[in-house]
Homo-oligomer: A and B are copies of this chain.
């Protein structure tokens, strides 16, 4: 069993969001997402087949949802359950 650190190996320059799979099971994926100012284009919606539980560990982000139409501000430690097919996009992330 190996201990790794979720804050390690973050590139100084990040031209795109960085997705890293930390654990992959039959029914579960644990993924680290690193964003530095990236966001999704307006009307570029995620429509996922699976439920997602997300927690923001560092920085800040704003997610936009369609139904109900709202923006969610996330600060460090904030978490949120996003049911499958709940369309959303990343409106803003802290640079």
Measuring CB to CB, which residues of chain A are less than 8 angstroms from any residue of chain B? 1-8, 22-23, 25, 27-28, 30, 51, 53, 55, 57, 65, 72-83, 86
Copies in the complex: 2
- Does B53 contact A23, Cβ atoms closer than 8 Å? yes
A1 to B86 alpha-carbon distance, docked (Å): 10
Q: Which residues of B contact A76 (CB under 8 A)?
A: 7
Q: What are 24 A-to-B residue pairs whose CB atoms are below 8 Å?
A: A1-B65, A1-B80, A1-B82, A1-B86, A3-B72, A3-B74, A3-B78, A3-B79, A4-B78, A4-B79, A5-B75, A5-B79, A6-B55, A6-B79, A7-B76, A8-B77, A22-B53, A22-B79, A23-B81, A25-B51, A27-B27, A27-B28, A28-B28, A57-B57
